[in-house]
Amino acid sequence: MPKAHLTQAFVANAGCEVGKKKTDWYDTVISGFILERRANGKGTYHIRYTDLSGRQRQYKIGGVDDVTCAAARKKAQELRSEVVMGGDPGAKKALARSIPFYGELAERHLAFAKVHLKSYADQEASMRNHIVPRWGKTRLTDMTSQSVGLWLSEKRKAGLAPASVEKLRVILGRSFVLGAGWDVPGTERNPTRGIPRKPLANGRERFLSAEEASRLREAVAASQNPQLQHIVGLLLLTGARLRELLDAKWENVDIKRQSWLIPTSKTGKPRHVPLSTAALAIIEQLPRFKDCPWLVPNPETRLPFVSIKHGWQRAIREARLPGLRLHDLRHSAASFMVNSGVDLFAVGKVLGHASYQSTQRYSHLANDTLLKAVEAGAAKQIT
């Protein structure tokens, strides 16, 4: 067991003893500090110690080509102090290595989402395009609120919409919630908690006037997508969500009862949408395809549309309605109902709102209708 005062000069000249595969040079100052030299010329610094159970352990500090002798000595002294205080550097290192990378947790998260969530495709895209490229190779315990908060801030500065940034935070946080439920090491602390968030201004609502709706109908009627006029017409007349209509099946439409069943809505519960005479007229004009169950399928694939973005963008340009969103048709449907005197409770039922608060956004429209009523009453009294 050769001993020496391990210095940079000594390390530069020390080699493996003749006829041996390796030689351990023990430092004469720091107990357990070793320079391991192999016959092939490789050298490594270690600290050797006895753990609390009496077993001898060895902790690798680093290679002589990567760590200076002075840095290795400093680390060896720190580790030696830890051992004296009852610690076990090797066990601590093994525990750190047992912490999985976020990419592994992301795979389990997506597997869960694919089975249990309707929004799987959306989550998968967010994971693939944003979250995993940044955090996939990071151990869970190295993901801190500070580092995640900084990343989200960078996403906002790069031009990602505030709602999209918030979605990334929610998905990332959900990964840790699921991981904690699965007892995944490193998920005990959720790095998304405590990150300050600005309130989202997602309340933008656009209501079409009767004249604007007429222009839009003319534009979609001229679209190269023959189904677009039917889709837009039904969205305006039912207030349904786009995905609900694109996934609608003929078997759920009851012409006689003027009712359309949506088996699973956003709230997770089925609901019946009443069909007006105008909506039924559109449905009666819909093309039927053999062995195709979908109400408004893509004529080419005979499957639900994945997107109607291109046709929609061209139509709103033709109709001179820049910035109009497909979801605004749902708001417009509510607007037309409220301005026709329908009470908010009934509007909420048609739209499938889970709570009355969701329908309250249209209360100012109801006030406009009531104002017209009192003005008419006042005019009658004056005359």
Domain limits for position 163: 102-181
The residue type found at 357 is: Q
* Angle made by CA atoms 109, 115, 116, in degrees to the nearest 5: 85
Q: How far apart are CA 6 and CA 68, in angstroms?
A: 11
Radius of gyration of the chain (CA): 34
- CA distance linking residue 228 with residue 313, whole number of Å: 11
159 within some domain = yes
Whether 283 is covered by a domain: the verdict is yes
* 255 and 273 inside one domain: yes
What is the domain-level CATH number for residue 274?
1.10.443.10
Q: Mean per-residue pLDDT for 236-243?
A: 91
Q: Are 77 and 66 in contact (CB under 8 A)?
A: no
Residue 186 lies in a domain: no
Same-domain status, 92 and 135:
no
Q: How confident is the model at residue 227 (pLDDT cuts 50, 70, 90)?
A: very high
Quote the CA–CA distance of 38 and 335 in Å, as a whole number: 81
pLDDT at residue 91 in the model: 67
Give yes or no: residues 94 and 134 share one domain: no
- Same-domain check for residues 38 and 50: yes
pTM of full prediction above 0.75: no
- Both 119 and 227 in one domain: the answer is no
> Which one of 37, 67, 98 terminates a domain?
98
Number of domains in the chain: 3
Q: Among 98, 121, 140, give the residue marking a domain's end.
A: 98
For residues 212-237, give the mean pLDDT.
95
What is the per-residue pLDDT across 296-327, written as a single tens digit (0 to 9) for each? 999 999 999 988 999 999 999 999 999 899 99
Task: Mark residue 243 as left, alpha or beta (left: phi above 0; alpha: psi -120 to 50; beta: remaining).
Answer: alpha
Over residues 356-375, the pLDDT tens digits come to: 666 776 766 666 666 666 77
Burial class of residue 21 (count of CB atoms within 10 Å of its CB; 0-12, 13-18, 19+): exposed
Mean pLDDT of the 218-233 span: 95
pLDDT in tens, 131-159: 999 999 999 989 999 999 999 999 999 98
* Mean pLDDT value across the chain: 87
pLDDT of 370 reads: 62
338 part of a folded domain: no
Terminal CA-CA length for the chain: 117
Whole-number pLDDT of residue 128: 94
pLDDT value at residue 268:
67
pLDDT higher than 90, residue 41: no
Q: Is residue 353 part of a domain?
A: no
Question: 206 versus 100: which is more confidently predicted?
Answer: 100
- The whole-number pLDDT of residue 378 equals 72
Does residue 144 fall inside a structural domain?
A: yes
As a whole number, mean pLDDT of residues 177-185 equals 93
pLDDT mean over 226-244: 94
Q: What is the pLDDT of residues 91-116, one digit of tens each?
A: 667 666 778 999 999 999 999 998 88
